[in-house]
Chains A and B, each alone.
Chain A
Amino acid sequence: ETGVTQTPRHLVMGMTNKKSLKCEQHLGHNAMYWYKQSAKKPLELMFVYNFKEQTENNSVPSRFSPECPNSSHLFLHLHTLQPEDSALYLCASSQGYGDTEAFFGQGTRLTVV
């Protein structure tokens, strides 16, 4: 247990659904990240929040909408997704942006049908 908790662990949703992924960290970190892990591809950084402010959006489609209400919580709101969005979504945190060690959650396995 690294102190980063993601819920749900698994999610199946239709293309017209709206759902949210949740990430919570109890490490007192100030930076939080969303990554997408697809089969046979490197992890892709999606969003970065530093002190609750979004500092990076890696050209992610608008059907993915992040929210960071405080330094401990990070959400990823999903709507009108496509089947190619099926992947493992990983949340991570670090003490500060650019700190040497990032701590990861166990991910949410998302399947879009």
Chain B
Amino acid sequence: AQTVTQSQPEMSVQEAETVTLSCTYDTSESDYYLFWYKQPPSRQMILVIRQEAYKQQNATENRFSVNFQKAAKSFSLKISDSQLGDAAMYFCAYRSLDNAGGTSYGKLTFGQGTILTVHP
């Protein structure tokens, strides 16, 4: 079974600065997706960025980028020019694409989350 670990329960950053959230995962599969979701106080989980495991190029979405290290099974999120609206709980998630008849296909596995505080 896959596991996702976020070792930073809480992080803080000054407005306009850069912060990196860590995520590691454990899998024996070669084909999968990785995600970062944001959960603001409104509680609605919002997709921030996704990475296909077969792509070597790191995904970017405006101020959000990832550092995907497949061999190390590491998937960190970098937020540049942090804004007050970035304050939220961030979840790293893994989705199996192993269609070899296993029970994990399609299942979304989440980490424990990291609370990000942005100071003005």
Contact = CB atoms under 8 A, between A and B. Distances in A.
Given A98-B105, A100-B50, A42 B43 contact: no
Interface in B81-120: 91, 95, 97, 105-113
A42 B113 contact: yes
Contacts of A47: none
Contacts of A105: 44
B107 A90 contact: no
A97 B112 contact: no
A2 B37 CA distance: 14
Given A45-B107, A100-B50, A100-B95, A2 B112 contact: no
A102 B43 contact: no
Nearest to B99: A98
Contacts of A45: 107-109
Interface in A54-113: 56, 88, 90, 92, 97-102, 104-107, 109
Interface size class of B (residues with CB under 8 A): 20 to 34
B108 A106 contact: no
B32 to A, nearest CB: 10
A42 B110 contact: yes
Interface string B8-21: 01000000000000
A109 B106 CA distance: 26
Contacts of A100: 33, 50, 95
A98 B95 contact: yes
Contacts of A98: 95, 97, 105-106
B53 to A, nearest CB: 12
Contacts of A40: 9, 112
Nearest to B52: A100
10 contacts: A42-B91, A42-B109, A42-B110, A48-B106, A98-B105, A98-B106, A101-B47, A102-B47, A105-B44, A106-B43
Interface of A: 2, 33, 40-43, 45, 48, 56, 88, 90, 92, 97-102, 104-107, 109
